[in-house]
Amino acid sequence: MSRQVVLLQGNEACARGAIYAGCNFFGGYPITPSTEVAEEMARMLPKHGGKFIQMEDEIASLGSVLGAAAAGAKAMTATSGPGFSLMMELLGYGCMAELPCVIVNVQRGGPSTGLPTKGAQADMMQARWGTHGDHPTIALSPSSIEECFTQTVKCFNLAERFRMPVILLMDEFIGHMREKMALPQPGEMEVYTHPRPKVKPAQYEHYGQDSGVGGAYANMGSGYRFNITGLTHDPKGFPTNRPDETKWKMDRLRAKIEDHRSELVMAEQEFLDDAEVVLFSYGAAARTSRHVVRQARAQGFKAGLLRPAVLWPFPDRLVTEVLRRIKAMVVVEMNQGQMISEVERANHTHTRILPALRYDGEMITPDEVMNVLEEAAR
Amino acid sequence: MKMHPSYEMLRPAKKFPTVWCPGCGHGIVQGAIIRAVQRLGLDRDEMAMVSGIGCSSRMPVYVDFNSLHTAHGRAIAFATGVKLHNPKLHVIVVTGDGDALAIGGNHFIHAARRNVEMTVILMNNMIYGMTGGQYSPTTPIGKRASTAPYGHAEPDFDACSLAAASGAVFAARGTVFNAVELEKLIAQALTKKGFALVEAVSPCPTLYGRLNKEGNAVKMLQWQKENTINVKAAEKLPPEKVAGKIVTGVFHDVDKPGYTEIYDRIILKAQGKE
């Protein structure tokens, strides 16, 4: 059976991807420009036997999502800047309590109320460091309507496997863009659901059965009566402030990312074999960048594109290795320079790094990027 | 040696002794909850105890149910997600006056409005205990707290009226002095199909009692004994005779469909089965 080709908006594609991944709970609050995700989920979830609830604010939205996740749901919420700010509190709870869920942030111009109807990529650092305390972060950024679908599925798989909230960093440009896509058939894409424990309830330790990645864990109400807390806890989930148990927990959270960095690298690499100037770009800005790379090639520039789809963890090794063999890198992003600091951190070869930024709510244009590329090639 | 009847429902090997100070009322509330659950013959595998942050919110660690200790004020939001995803679970939210009525006030009124099936046990000690005695939304006007050194300037919330006005199906108040009545009220609340509140007035001798010179734990319980009046008796008295007293009993008890029941019908409608 061939794939059905449909014309979809990014937000709709994200919701369709969630249903494909087996999402059965959505808790959200209306906010531009993400609202269509909630509207689509409100329509589709009951049809699939799932539950949709519009909560009283974004804190409650993520609270309901994490509660449902504790009870075994594949749960999601979607929001934008101001709502994402409110969610910072419970994002940390999700990391600490190791509850899988997907948080979609359709980024708009900020700070504060900012530009509700216009796009930006300015929550990149908030996604990484917005909640207090050391914690792991996984964040993906789609660059097409098809990726809004496929990356949402991927986010659910990663959340289930890594037992943590996974963030989909969309932006208004992609969220409201319409594009055709071929819908994956059932079974075509991997859908991962965490295995349930096989040990007897008396032997069960909610955080003691696995390394934190890919293991079995129980849902509330399944016969395993365990405790979940946002306090630092021991392998059984009971609060502790013992230094040895605290270190165990913090190392466990850190290892989720550090021990699995290579599996979390997902990047499009175009013309990198002989490239002298490489555009580093993601999300909507990468659409402009891809166009510019092809245009530059046609004009005789040895240009290339590095487009990470997973932004957190940052693909340090890949960026270091690319920087080692090129003349210059142009970081194209729609903010005042956020991921560029990560690129600079990965630069061990004093390679030239130039910013191509736009932060007035409009899409960065090919001309703007081309000008910086030409300067970089000099 | 005879085992305490609550023992089988506790996790004594885990984190005892409790964080609660000697003379705190919260342990009596815990006992009343356990006895109410035993009285109704509920299966603890189907009990979910959800809490926020504060002294009262430490209870889920001690009780051998499915337990979820969440963030400050957010217990009811989490509990909504738990209940919606698994309606078979009996959800008990244990919370305090600050947790439920200050930082969690918005979640409290909206869960009551939605009539999400959960039993909320609000331990009201009229103070923030865990952080050292700051005033809460139920600290009476004029009383002292570490952040009200000259007396409190704000009037207090009546949690039962708030729940009833917001749409709850049940709202009752008991005291830890009358633990038998408290247990009955909790058992009654657990049988309701909707948002049910039991406010348990619980003394904090360490902070509220000390700051307001109300004496030790025994004296505070004695005060509860002498200053409690049942709602039926209170209705017959002029307001000035009721002022300053703890009015106990059932204030509000109605029947209407719970949220998950209504949502089940929405699922049938969406699937074209209704």
Flag whether pLDDT at B12 surpasses 80: no
Are the C-beta atoms of A193 and A160 separated by less than 8 Å? yes
pLDDT (average), residues B159-165: 98
What beta strand segments (E) does A139-240 contain?
Answer: 139-140, 165-171, 178-183, 227-229
Residues A158 and A275 in one domain: no
Please tell me the pTM assigned to this model: 0.98
* pLDDT for the residue B14: 67
The boundaries of the domain holding residue A284 are 266-377
Q: What are phi and psi of A101, to 5 degrees?
A: -165, 170
From the CA of B62, how many Å to the nearest CA of chain A?
10
| Domain count within chain A | 2
What pLDDT is stored for residue A280 in this prediction? 98
* Chain B contact present for A27, CB below 8 A: yes
DSSP secondary structure code for residue A314 in this structure: -
Residue A179 shares a structural domain with residue A276: no
Comparing alpha-carbon positions, the chain B residue that sits nearest to A97 is B70
pLDDT band at B2 (very low <50, low <70, confident <90, very high): confident
ipTM for the predicted complex: 0.97
Residue A1 above 80 pLDDT? no
Q: Is residue A2 very low, low, confident or very high in pLDDT (cuts 50, 70, 90)?
A: confident
The yes/no answer on whether domain B16-270 falls in CATH 3.40.50.970 is yes
Count of A–B CB contacts within 8 Å?
138
CATH code for position A357: 3.40.50.920
Q: Which among A148, A183, A218 is the end of a domain?
A: A183
B250-270 confidence digits (pLDDT tens): 999 999 999 999 999 999 999
A167 shares its domain with A309: no
Continuous segment of H or E residues that includes residue A194? none
Give phi and psi for A294, each to the nearest 5: -65, -40
Of residues B67, B267, B271, nearest to A227 (C-beta): B67
Q: Quote helix, strand, coil % in chain B, to nearest 5.
A: 45, 20, 40
Query: Tokens 């008796």 identify what position?
Result: B233
Residues A23 and A155 in one domain: yes
E-strand spans in chain A? 4-9, 25-28, 51-54, 75-79, 101-109, 115-119, 139-140, 165-171, 178-183, 227-229, 267-270, 277-281, 303-308, 310-312, 328-333, 352-357
| Predicted local distance difference test score (pLDDT) of residue B13 | 72
Q: pLDDT tens, A19-28?
A: 999 999 999 9
Q: And the tokens for B226?
A: 């002498």
In a domain, A300, yes or no: yes
Assess B52–A contact: CB distance below 8 Å, yes or no: no
Of A157, A183, A209, the last residue of a domain is A183
- What mean pLDDT is predicted for residues B202-230? 97
**Residue A224 domain-assigned (yes or no):** no
Task: Write out chain B residues lying below 8 Å of A66, CB-based.
Answer: 70, 78, 81
8 A C-beta contact, residue A70 and residue A220: yes
Q: Which is nearest to A10 in space by CA: A151, A146, A150, A116?
A: A146
Say how many residues make up chain B: 274
Chain A residues whose beta carbon lies within 8 Å of the beta carbon of residue B48:
71, 220-221
Is residue B129 pLDDT above 70, yes or no?
yes
In a domain, A194, yes or no: no
Mean of pLDDT over chain A: 97
- Name which of A129-133, A332-336, B8-12, B135-139 the model is least confident about: B8-12
A22 and A159 in a single domain? The answer is yes
In a domain, A204, yes or no: no
pLDDT given for residue B155 in this prediction: 97
Contact call for residues A78 and A106 (beta carbons, < 8 A):
yes
Tell me, yes or no, whether A250 lies in a domain.
no
Task: Please indicate, yes or no, whether residues A19 and A152 belong to a single structural domain of this protein.
Answer: yes
Q: What angle do CA B258, B262, B263 make, to 5 degrees?
A: 115
Cβ–Cβ below 8 Å for B267 and A90: no
